[in-house]
Amino acid sequence: MVVNNQHTTLELTLAVLDKFVQYGEVYGAVFNYFDQTTQTLKPYAILQYTNVERAKLCAPSMQNSSRCRTVHAS
């Protein structure tokens, strides 16, 4: 599936995983949502680290992003 004129879903998924793997082993997927208001396709990523400590290392850097939300497992 082509997400936009430049990237496929697979390319976006690999790019997202590549960004987050620096903190540890991570699994995830990119989902595409068509925004009816803006008439644009918006990709969303859901990621899961295999180690809670590694996820905690990643969380502070993501909280500084206005386009990212983090959920902490207890």
Domain boundaries, the chain: 1-6+23-48
pTM for this prediction: 0.59
Q: To the nearest whole percent, how much of the chain has pLDDT over 70?
A: 74
How far apart are alpha carbons 6 and 62 in whole angstroms? 25
pLDDT bin (cut points 50, 70, 90) of residue 2 is very low
C-alpha dist (Å) from residue 53 to 1, 4, 48: 34, 35, 12
What's the average model confidence in pLDDT over 56-60?
Answer: 80
The pLDDT value given to residue 44: 80
